[in-house]
Chain A
Amino acid sequence: MNAPQAPHIAPEPANRGRRRAAGVPAIDVHALCHVYAEGPAALSGVDLCIEAGEAVAIVGANGAGKSTLLQHLNGLLLPAAGSVHIEGIELGPRTLAEVRRRVGYVFQDADDQLFMPTVRDDVAFGPLNQGLSLEEAHGRTDTALAGVGAAHLASRAPYRLSGGEKRAVAIAGVLAMRPSILVLDEPSSGLDPLGRERLIGLLRSFTHTRVIATHDLDLALQVCARVVVLQHGQCAAQGAAAEILGDGALLRRCGLAAPSDQEPAR
């Protein structure tokens, strides 16, 4: 990942206003519940409201429900009870395509996301699924790859890339769809310190609404203005990043460790 060029990969302007009245939050989760067949409730009555352009970190110990919550934002899971509204659109079987066009999901393991023979083909996968012409899709692909500093990888095979390169390409694959909301699951896992630093720079440069599930509290502090702490599928606390991540007792109670001193997000 080289120096990011956020202006090229900003969300599609048409996305921002379409079917969204002024004042409608980008994400509105109300009393969300989810139970996996083989276990206890993964989410029990989660409420969350995120405004357009906000960067919010979802933190919590393993099994707290972070990934389950994130998967509801893109319709990979549908609410068992409660509701999820994305830019005013209620998530349901009929609105899946529209929700997925608006919400870009970056998976924890980039290898799960990259499957086409070349990086260019993989990044073009989303735009082509959106019904764009080959020309438009390739244009978006080149822009997204340049945006994450991975233009030089276009003709490479994804499985030959380093962890940081794979992460950059996975993000480009999502950016090429021009979503207005970015959802990232553990984006810094498996990255070396330099790769992580570049990722933080890239995430800070985005103007999208960002929701980041992470164990990396330093990253949360540097990228996100707000933090939501999940514990046993419930919202244990939420507030300004500096305030929440500065509360050692709360973090310890929720199975987390306080971050080292870093420059907080704007």
Chain B
Amino acid sequence: MGRLATALQDLRALDTLAARDTPLSRRDPRAKLLVTLLFVITLMSFDRYRVAALLPLALFPVVLAAQGAVPARTIAHLLMLAAPFALLVGLANPWIDSAPQLLLAGIELSGGWVSFVSILLRVTLSVSATVLMLGCTGMPALCAALARLRVPQVLCTQLLLLHRYLFVLGDEAQRLTTAYRLRAGRRPRLPLQHFAALGGQLLLRAHERATRLHQAMLARGFTGQLPLARPLQWQQGDTLFVGLWSSWFLLARGIDLPQALGRLATGAGP
């Protein structure tokens, strides 16, 4: 199976996961969305040289994965999709910022390497949390939650259709590349000069398919708002969910817990 097919399968797996009944999927989508947003904001608010202080925040995706029974394999595959972007953002740091920043086991690390590790950790944590939230909520419920949180309906519908279009585009790309490979003979890689032609074909075919999908939706009474198959009901458990996690994020942001624990263990002063 090609990389594209695997990536699509993992994205589709999220939709399937969202339909299951787990403690996390029973939480109101708005609660999950709010907590995940808070989590990402907290992560991004740390100084770029902080690494150890981020570790207590890893508790959030770990607990979500356990509550949502999301397979580690799915999270790992989707993390791999995001990895190139994180690498692209952070890879230049060791060359740009060469001032010594940290002494680790006798080895002096430059600020660039520390910030690079920090970026990788933040991306890993935020992507894991987002994937878990999506996997235990589903795109339709997430868009409904956004709409209830006063995000304009047209944006929510666009987001939902974009999510569907992603699969349409992916399916078409898969068909095109398979058709190419079957007749490529000794040239398994697509030559550069064919990229533009295939890209155009891909967009045209995906557009036609998306039009048929839209027609099928219209034929079943779609008027621009996607109905929700499960009601949104904010319960006490959701308030507790938001409250507990927000407190944990504030605590992790306010106090360097690993450092505090280290000092406690070694008896070092403040």
In addition to A71-B215, A128-B229, 13 A-B residue pairs with Cβ atoms within 8 Å of each other are A101-B221, A104-B219, A105-B219, A115-B164, A115-B213, A125-B227, A126-B221, A128-B228, A129-B221, A130-B221, A157-B15, A173-B220, A174-B220
Q: Name the residue among A101, A104, A125 with the largest chain B CB count within 10 angstroms.
A: A125
Residues of B participating in the A interface, judged by any CB pair closer than 8 Å = 12, 15-16, 18-19, 138-140, 164, 209, 212-213, 215-223, 227-231
Point out which of B139, B220, B229 has the most chain A C-beta atoms below 10 A from its C-beta.
B220
Minimum C-beta distance from A198 to chain B (A): 22
Q: Is the CB of B216 within 8 A of A107?
A: yes
- Given A126-B220, A155-B19, also A117-B227 (CB < 8 A): no
Task: Check if B164 sits within 8 Å of A157, measured CB to CB.
Answer: no
Query: What residues on A are CB-neighbors of B218 within 8 Å?
Result: 76, 100
Chain B residues positioned under 8 Å from A112 (CB to CB): 209, 212-213, 215-216
Q: List 18 A-B contacts (CB under 8 A).
A: A71-B215, A74-B219, A76-B219, A100-B220, A104-B219, A105-B219, A107-B219, A115-B213, A117-B16, A121-B19, A124-B227, A125-B217, A129-B222, A157-B15, A157-B19, A159-B12, A160-B16, A173-B220
Chain B residues within 8 Å of A129, by CB: 220-223, 227
Question: Which residues of chain A in 107-125 are interfacial with respect to chain B, using CB atoms and an 8 Å cutoff?
Answer: 107, 109, 112-113, 115-118, 120-121, 124-125
Size category of the A interface is 20 to 34
* Alpha-carbon distance A242/B23, docked complex (angstroms): 59
The CA-CA distance from A117 to B18 in the complex, in Å, is 8
* Chain A contacts to B: CB under 8 angstroms: 71, 74, 76, 97, 100-101, 104-105, 107, 109, 112-113, 115-118, 120-121, 124-126, 128-130, 134, 137-138, 155, 157, 159-160, 173-174, 177
Q: Is the CB of A121 within 8 A of B229?
A: yes
- The interface residues of chain A, by DSSP majority, are classed as helix
With both chains docked as a complex, state the minimum distance between the C-beta of B215 and any C-beta of chain A, in angstroms: 5
Shortest distance between the CB of A239 and any CB in chain B (Å)? 29
State whether B221 touches A157 (Cβ < 8 A).
Answer: no
- Point out the residues of chain B lying under 8 angstroms from A71, CB to CB: 215
